[in-house]
Structures are given as C-alpha cells and as structure tokens.
Chains A and B, each alone.
Chain A
Amino acid sequence: MSRPELDERRPGESRPHQRQPSERKPPLYTLTRARILEFVREPEALFWVFAFPIIMALVLGFAFRDRPPDPLAVGVVEGPAASAISQALEKSGLVKPRMYPDREAGLHGLRTGKITLLVEEPDGTGPVYLFDTTRPDARLARLEVDAAIQRARGRTDPSPARVVLIQEKGSRYIDFLLPGILGLNLMGTGIWGVGFSIVNARLKKTLKLMVATPMRKSDFLLAQMLSRFIFLVLEVGIILAFGVWAFQVPIRGALWLLGLTTVVGSVTFAGVGLLVVARARTLEAASGLMNLVMVPMWLLSGVFFSSERFPAAAQPFIKALPLTALNDALRAVMLEGSGLAAIAGPLAVLAAWALVSFAVALRIFRWQ
C-alpha cells in the first residue's frame, strides 16, 4: 500500500499521490464571482439596490417638480381689519391667507406648521406679526405680508424694482443634491452590502471553513471590494439617468472621470465596510457600528447641505471624511466640469481610506 511520505519536499514538487492536474481558476476571480452570484441571487438585496435609488429619485421628483413655488400659508386673526388684510394678501399672490377666529386658534396653526406667520390687528394701530425668526420661510412671509398690507394702505415705492427670473440648470438645489444622493448611496450600499455579508459568513462559519484552506486572506477581502463594481452600474446608472432625464441635472465633466470617481468611491466604502465589521460577532453589533460610522457622515459630509456651514475649525476633519471627499469630487465633475487634476485631492483622500481600511481590516479581521 502506498502511503504519503513525510520527507522534505518543497511545495509544488511531485508528491507520491500524483494530484490530477485540473484547470484552476484564479481565486480572486472565483471569490469575486461567488460574492456577486450570492448577491444577485438574493432577491431582497437586489430589491434594495434598485429600490433605494428609485424611491430616492421619486421623492426628489415630487419635491422638485417643475412648477412655481407654493404660496406661503399665512394666518389672519378675525378683527375689524381682517377682511381687508386678507384681500390684500390674496391680491399679492405670494402668500395665501387663512382666517382664524382668535389668536389662540392662530397660534395653534403656527405651532402645527399649517401657517408660517400669523397677522393680527386688534386695535387699528397697525398689524402685529407673530412668527418664529429662526425659520427662513417665516421671515420671508413677514416681508411679503408687510409689503402687501402697506401697499394696500397706500404706500408707494419710490423706485419700483423689476424682477428677472433665473432657472439655470446647475445652480438649483436639485443640482447640488443629486451628487450628494449618489455619494450617500455609494456609501450605504458599500458598507451595508459588505458588512452584513461578512457578519453572516462569520456567523455561519463559512469564513472559518475558508481559512482552513490555503486561500489567501487578502484575496478574500479584496474580492469583497471588487465585487462592488457590478452593482455600481445599477446604482449609479439609475440615479444619474433619473437626474438627467427628470431634472436635466448637468454632467459637465467627462463621463470616464465620473465613472472613475464612483469606482474609487465604492471600493473605498467597501473597504470601510470591511473595517467596520472586522471584529463584529453579531448582526446587532455590526449594524450599530455601521450606523455609528455612517450617520455622522450623512450630516457632516455635505449630502443635503454644504459642509461649509460647519465651523472652520471642523473643516479639516470634515474634509478628511471619505463621504465629503466623494461628494466634493462628484460635484466638481458633474457641476463644474472639473478635470482629473482638480479632483486629485478628494480622490487621494478616498484612495487613502481604501488602502488603510483594507490593510487594517486584514490585520485585525476575525475569521471565526
């Protein structure tokens, strides 16, 4: 009977049991493919990759549909001058009056957000405005209402102004918002997609089984990052197509540069996802950590409003966040038509996050 001998053979030399040669695929390829197949065969996961951007786009479409701004709702308290005020406001067309029997009812309307400002004139000595000064729309309503009332009572403007309306594509809020949504989506799917699959594989001991083979750990982690490419086309494609089609959001820079930015961004967030769950043992721990990482970036990284609003002292920190870098690069390419040189900074920040996350995750990763 032949037995395996235990001599000083080097790996790769022929062994007593001739291993049958067979076509061996590169492990990075098989791992990446396995990850992609696993994902596309998961109906829920697919649903969310499609549904999230579509829902986002629909909500945006509703919020920014192409029609003149709604008139501001304003409350008027019943009184001797009430009907004259109401008529004046109605005539201005910029605010929409609504009658309240007394001040208490009007204040209730204000508190519940039905109106932005309340007008009252109890004694004929001039109107009284009740509103919250921290609300920009309330301050705007005060100006419009006051102008309408004063004009109705005979005020004439010494030098009447003319108004020119501008709706330039690229300078609207939707133009600012769409790249932010794109960045947000790349971060979310990157971190969630990688995070949950890793923790699941760890819980089911699939990871442990793999480390019992000669598989290179770096191949496994790299495959997690590379497999993000395939979903990129879906996610980015849907959001961009909708933005361009429904809102004519401009893409002023080169498409390849936009592609490069999204690829770098998605690989980076897959790497951050790996790092976040590198040691998490349970799904609960993992989702807590993922939120801990993502929620600050939702707020700080200029998704819904510019990150410039935060104090100057915080700017270096905010600029170093991967989502800030991604959003800045996406806006530069889409809105300003920047070239590669102009976005090299943010791309470098992203690449640094990707490399550091990968390297640290590889070191501290819990395989079992």
Chain B
Amino acid sequence: MSSPAISCVGLKKHYGDVKAVDGLDLEVAPGECFGLLGPNGAGKTTTIEILEGLTIPDSGEVTVLGRRWGSHERELRERLGVSLQESRLTEKLTVYETLELFRSFYERGRSPEQLMADLSLEEKRDARVGKLSGGQRQRLAVACALAGDPEILFLDEPTTGLDPQSRLQLWERIAAYKAAGRTVLLTTHYMEEAERLCDRVAIVDHGRIIALGTPEQLVAGLQAPHFVEFTTEPPIDEALLTAVAGIGERRRRDGRWFVGSSSLADTVPSLLSALDKAGARLVTLSTHRSTLEDVFISLTGRELRDE
C-alpha cells in the first residue's frame, strides 16, 4: 500500500473535564472513502477538525498527504477540501458569487460553472444562499469544499437534517468524486450513509475507535447476520426464548424484542411454535439484515441515535 493519505496516532483532546478524543489512531489510504461512525458527542467532529488542522490536539501525531499541519499548512489547504458541520455560508450572496469567492482562495481548482454542474446547482446560479433549501445549501457547501479540486475531501455530517432525496443526491456526488480516485473522510451518525459510501468504517464512541473494518467485515463480526423484531400479546419472558433455534444476542426495548439470528429459516418457525406453546399471540414480526447499527448496539449496548 502506498503511504496513507491521512494518518494519526495517539490523538487526544479534552475540553475541561470532557475527553472529546481519547487516544485515537487511524489511517486512511489514498482513494479510500473512510467513515467515522458514532453517536452525537462521540468525538467525531473533534477528530475530523484535528485532521483538518482546525483544532490543535493536546497530544498525538497527525500526518496528511505526508505533511504535518504545523509546517505545511498553506500547502495542505491548497490540496484539501473541507465542509464543516453547521457552518453557514453568507446568505446574501448568490450561489455563483459564493463559488467564485471560494474558487479565488485556491491557486488552482474548478470553475464555478464546473462546480455548479458537479452538484446540479446550475438552476440556482443567481439564487441567494438564504433562499436555498437545506439540500441545495448542503450541495453548495460541498461545491465550496471542491473549489480547489482537492485530493482529500473532509465532510462532517454531510447529510444530517436532509430529506431522503437530497441525501441520495449528495451520496451520488460523493461517490462520483471518490470514483475519480480521490480520498474522502466523512463523519456520520447514519449507518446507512456509512454502508453506502464508505470502504472502511471506524466506529467511534467516547473518543476512541471501538471497531474498524469494511462495513461487511463489521457486520460479519456479529454472530448474527439477521435480526428478528417482534412484539407479542401478552409480553413474554426471556426464558421462553432459550428454546428458540439459532438465536444469539437478544434484547428488549419498549416492549419490543430484538433477537439476533444465524438463520431466519430456523429461527422464525421455531419462534412461532415457542410462542404458540406459551399461549402468546404474535402482534408484529419483522426481520432485517444486520447493519452497522446492530454492530454499534452490540458493542456499546446503546443505539446510535441516543443523544
């Protein structure tokens, strides 16, 4: 493997008593789309901002494109694109003016016209930023990050708060950028986003990486490739589940059972007969393939969306 696009070792950053980042190592290969997945407050934003050179870590080493922030800041800025969480572009400028502004900061880059084409913003060329929808604004933010035609794109929660269609649109653009061989580092608390876009994912909790791998590897690491979700009337005890075939992890949340299963073909009939025997009526039943969310829950016992 060629030298990493981004690497950091032993990253630590605390704010007062809060350890936002607590000894984090990671390495992102060139051309890779790497996701930091975790709940709010896990330290994702602090981590990505340290890698972007915007926050100085208390300790730890950061190397980006083989350079260090302290000595090569300006060169690195020319070669990176950054989209921040919750940053707002000036509302009074038009899309074109905004792109022209950001383009002017870079020695080389893509023209406003190309950027608008890349992110389907041509129709909004002369619209004020304040009049754009959330999705359009977010696309514009990404377009600004791409103004210098960067080698690495940093995206902090790129689709948070967007409607599904806007999200899909943005995913396509990020995928297209990556397809050109560029490197992407993104943070997200949407497991679907990580699964769709990322070659590798680091699951972050309390400022540390608790799991790292491709989405497939992480999911495969679970004992159960499937999950069965059901509710019954009357509610059943956990003891009843021990008789069900092929189940692993089980948990109950708000009266709803989540049961990991190695094989749905074994588990579902076995579950139904067990319920039948106990005289419990099935109210709802659904199954899903295990996701990164299940990985997160099985690692931490909490849900990603917990805030």
Contacts and interface: CB of A to CB of B under 8 A. Distances in A.
A368 B103 contact: no
A206 interface: yes
Nearest to B52: A212
A4 B182 contact: yes
A24 interface: yes
A26 B107 CA distance: 10
Nearest to B86: A205
A294 to B, nearest CB: 26
A348 B244 CA distance: 89
Interface stretch (A27-35, A75-83, A180-188, A323-331): A27-35
Contacts of A42: 92
Interface string A10-33: 011001010111111111011101
Contacts of B89: 206, 209
Give the bracket for the number of chain B residues in contact with chain A: 35 or more
Interface of A is mostly: loop
A213 B5 contact: no
A213 B104 CA distance: 10
Interface string B45-77: 000000011100000000001100000001101
B83 to A, nearest CB: 8
A22 B107 contact: no
Given A42-B92, A208-B54, A17 B104 contact: no
B88 A205 contact: yes
Contacts of B65: 4, 6
B181 to A, nearest CB: 5
Contacts of A5: 2, 30
A213 B111 contact: no
Interface string B108-149: 111100100000000000001000000000000100100111
Contact of A37 (B31, B66, B74, B92): B92
Given A1-B181, A38-B92, A206-B87, A214 B2 contact: no
B256 to A, nearest CB: 39
Given A22-B103, A24-B103, A205-B87, A3 B31 contact: yes
Interface of A: 1-6, 11-12, 15, 17, 19-27, 29-31, 33-34, 37-38, 41-42, 201, 204-206, 208-215, 368
23 contacts: A1-B31, A3-B31, A6-B5, A11-B78, A12-B107, A17-B149, A17-B181, A20-B109, A24-B103, A24-B106, A27-B104, A37-B93, A204-B88, A206-B87, A206-B88, A209-B82, A211-B54, A212-B52, A212-B54, A212-B77, A213-B148, A214-B148, A368-B54
Given A6-B30, A30-B104, A206-B88, 13 more contacts: A3-B30, A5-B2, A19-B109, A19-B149, A20-B108, A25-B103, A33-B97, A34-B97, A204-B88, A206-B89, A209-B87, A213-B148, A214-B78
